[in-house]
Structures are given as C-alpha cells and as structure tokens.
Amino acid sequence: MDIRQSCSPGETRGFDTTQLRTNYLIEDLFRAGEVSMTYSHLDRTVVGGVVPQAKPLLLKSEKQIGSPGFLDRREIGVVNIGGEGRVTADGTDYDLAWTDALYLPMGTADVAFSSTDAANPARFYFVSTPAHATHKAQKITADDAILLDLGTQSDANVRKLRQYIHPEVCASCQLVMGVTLIEDGSVWNTMPCHTHDRRSEAYLYFDMQPKTRVIHLMGEPQETRHLVVGNEQAILSPGWSIHSGCGTGRYGFVWSMAGDNQDFTDMDFVDMGDLR
C-alpha cells in the first residue's frame, strides 16, 4: 500500500514537477490481476484500483487500516470503468456495468471482485473512508443517480454530473461520490473553480484516448500549480486547493469527497479575476 502524507500550502508552493506528482498524483492505479491501494492522510482516504482476470480478487486489510477486516471501521464506494464485472459482498452478488456504482457499509466482512469476461476485464475504482455507523449496501446505476446538466458551449464546459453516493440517493457516513462526463466539443471541468476547506477530494480521470491529457489545476487560488494527467490516473486534492482541469480530448472523471459534511454545495467559489 502506497502512503501519501498531507502537505501544507507552504510546502506545495516550493514543489517542482516531480514533487507535485509524487505527493498528489496516483499514476499506476490499475494493474492486471491485482488490487492496488494508496492510503492518503487527507481524511484517511484510501484510493484503489482492481482489475480481476480469470480469478476473483479479494479486498484485504493492510497494516495501515489497523483492523482485521478492511471494512471493520470503514465504508467504501466502487465504480466500474471497464468491462462488465461483479462485486460479491458477504454472499450477495452485485453486477456492475460501465459507470455503475456500489456502496458497501462498515461491517461488510468479505468482498470479492470478478470480471464477466477476462479478455475485457472490469476495472473497479474504489474510495474508502472511515465510518462510524452501518448503512445499507446499495447498487446505484447512472439512471439511479441525481443528474445535473452543467456548463455552456460558449464556455466549452458542457458536462453531465451524476451524484451516486449522495444523501438523497444512498446513505453513507461521510463518503460522497459521483461521475462527471464531459460532452464532445467541451474541454473544461469544474470551472469557475472553488475550494472547500471542510472536505478533501479525489479525482480519477478516465474514458480518455491514449494520447489525450488533462491539465489539472491545483494549489491555492493565488498560487496555482498544474499536473499533466493521463488516462486512469487519480489526483488527491486537499481542502485548501482548487481542483479543475482542461483536456485535449474526450474524458470523464470520478469524484469523491470526505470530511466534515456531505453538503455538495458547500463550496467557496473563486472569482476568475482572483486566480494567479
């Protein structure tokens, strides 16, 4: 399990490209036949990727989790961005197609990931956060999610944002999770940008062509930095940082938040004229 420490705004101002990528970018998230995990000290969030092939893969605890079972004191959200697959949780099967999601609560003992077709494997992305109560396990499809049509063509940011793990859709302790897909001909996401010091966030960029890149903007509004991000790479975003991006082609991203509240609109917007 990779470990990422929290970094202050003061430290981050002095980071070069390598240091920015080392601290905030997860590059090698999906490995065939493996469960890959990164433990971030931003709200103790675990970000993972699972690519099952011929055999199912099990979700196992690690030393950093601090409990015998991975979900003894945690909850988890899973989104499939690959071929059709199945998550089996305590004997119950949940079949997940592309962009289907699954919420599993604290106390879930046994979790296994499998692919319907090993030649076109599922690619399960998951985010796990500490939990204090047990809620109901729930599969959420794109049709089940809350759909928000955002942006304008004149601003090149038309996008569809779907809220999957959200208080009005699926109860959770602190995890909020969803998927945003950028419309053809648009390039920007989350612009105008914002911060939310009460919550940290993670972005997984996906649905990109091999040569497509997203220029992800981060940092304090008056001290912005950038990361060049490829397909199926994830960004860790502290509460003090903006999180926005512009792509060279089609892309989408899975977003997740953890922290003090689950109020999606709890954002501190940044005026475009204040960005530096």
194 is annotated as contributing to ligand binding? yes
| Paired tokens of 120 | 């076109």
3-state helix, strand, coil in the chain (%, to 5): 5, 45, 50
Specify whether the CB–CB gap between 140 and 102 falls below 8 A: yes
CA distance 78 to 101: 5
Q: Measured at the alpha carbon of residue 195, what is the angle toward residues 191 and 199, in degrees to the nearest 5?
A: 130
- Quickly count: other Cβ atoms within 10 Å of residue 66's Cβ: 11
Residue pair 243/201 in contact (Cβ under 8 Å)? The answer is yes
3-class secondary structure, 170: coil
H helical segments located in the chain: 9-13, 17-24
Q: How many residues does the chain have?
A: 276
Taking a C-beta distance cutoff of 8 angstroms, is the pair 203, 235 a contact? yes
- Residues in the annotated binding site for Zn(2+): 194, 196, 201, 243
- Residues in the annotated binding site: 194, 196, 201, 243
